[in-house]
């Protein structure tokens, strides 16, 4: 498009252990969705991903919503989210990235996405990227006040560190964490100019199998399982954060426990061919070892990413490691109560 200039990449956040508590910071929820830059020039709307890839064809209902904003030239920054029933669903977002237009159109009607907006880089043709956050946010709020458009939501913010800490403590899986931004900072494309604290979620898991490291006879990763309501051990993810100095001894310990079937429910990569001993294959274990791991998000009853090993749990019985300990997405009704409207600084989505 020849209209508003999209940044090469959105501004990003640096992971830190704690949120700042000195004056001058604003805090926003870090939503668990797809980052999205939305630009409009007259009748032309463009949605672009964090990596610079086009999203317009995958989310036509969001493009249509952006086209209904009362303004014909702007660039907005936000996060795409989808609610399925009464929960937010990352799986539903992934399903939209499909080559068949007919499927995209069907899903856009059955499970419409929303765009949670939190920044404005250009408004009514006036560039704002070099303006402080406080001014950009005011421009975004004024733009969205002109006309209420279904499918577009204004992400809340607060300048109260206690409120931000409460979001982290009680937001379940709907939020990926909390982001801190300087109120007087310009928009810095591609830079980690913000701070973020991610959710700390832990789970006690059964070690149902392991894989050797590539080109090695030492363990490379532990395969993690949780028991479902039927009493079956389902594979839910892995951890490879194993201290190098401990791997040789751990390998011997694991090899002494090798026995079929390992996972009695959902297994990693289908049937085990562990006798071959290849790094891409896995070896099943007797369900005797329990570990506590740190994870970020759950998608489809699996850890979305690799987990961090925190400690071994010899004090916990494997059968106590159940699916119900996982923290799934917060319900929208609960989220609305969690993020109350405050006239001064905190605004409801």
Which sequence positions are flagged as catalytic?
30
CA–CA gap between residue 195 and residue 120 (Å, rounded): 19
Pairing of strands 201-212, 290-295: antiparallel
Altogether, the residues listed in the chain come to a count of 349
CA–CA gap between residue 348 and residue 313 (Å, rounded): 41
CA–CA gap between residue 7 and residue 186 (Å, rounded): 13
Q: Which residues pair with 84 in a beta bridge?
A: 87
**Buried-exposed string 282-310: b where 16+ CB fall within 10 A, e elsewhere:** bbbbebebbbbbbbbbbbeebbeeebebe
């Amino acid at each position: 498009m020849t209209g508003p200039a999209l940044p090469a990449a959105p501004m990003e956040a640096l992971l830190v252990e704690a949120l700042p508590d000195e004056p001058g910071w604003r805090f926003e929820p870090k939503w668990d969705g797809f980052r999205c830059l939305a630009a409009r020039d007259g009748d032309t709307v463009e949605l672009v991903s964090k990596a610079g890839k086009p999203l317009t064809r995958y989310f036509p209902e969001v493009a249509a919503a952006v086209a209904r904003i009362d303004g014909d030239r702007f660039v907005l920054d936000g996060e795409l989210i989808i609610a399925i029933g009464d929960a937010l669903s990352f799986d539903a977002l992934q399903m939209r990235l499909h080559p068949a237009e007919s499927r995209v159109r069907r899903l856009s009607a059955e499970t419409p996405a929303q765009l949670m907006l939190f920044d404005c880089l250009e408004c009514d043709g006036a560039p704002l990227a070099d303006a402080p956050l406080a001014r950009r946010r005011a421009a975004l709020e004024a733009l969205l006040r002109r006309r209420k458009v279904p499918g577009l939501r204004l992400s809340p913010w607060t300048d109260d560190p206690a409120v931000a800490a409460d979001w982290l403590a009680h937001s379940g899986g709907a939020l990926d964490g909390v982001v801190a931004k300087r109120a007087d900072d310009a928009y810095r494309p591609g830079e980690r100019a913000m701070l973020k604290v991610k959710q700390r979620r832990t789970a006690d898991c059964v070690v149902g199998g392991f894989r050797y490291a590539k080109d090695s006879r030492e363990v490379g990763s532990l395969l993690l399982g949780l028991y479902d309501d039927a009493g079956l051990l389902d594979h839910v993810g892995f951890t490879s954060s194993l201290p190098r100095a401990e791997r040789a001894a751990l390998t011997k310990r694991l090899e002494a426990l090798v026995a079929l079937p390992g996972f009695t429910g959902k297994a990693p990569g289908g049937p085990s061919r562990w006798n071959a001993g290849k790094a891409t294959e896995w070896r099943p274990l007797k369900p005797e070892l329990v570990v506590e791991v740190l994870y970020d998000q759950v998608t489809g009853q699996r850890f979305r990413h690799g987990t961090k090993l925190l400690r071994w749990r010899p004090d916990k019985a494997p059968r106590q490691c159940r699916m119900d300990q996982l923290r799934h997405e917060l319900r929208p009704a609960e989220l609305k109560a969690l993020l109350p409207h405050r006239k001064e600084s905190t605004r409801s989505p």
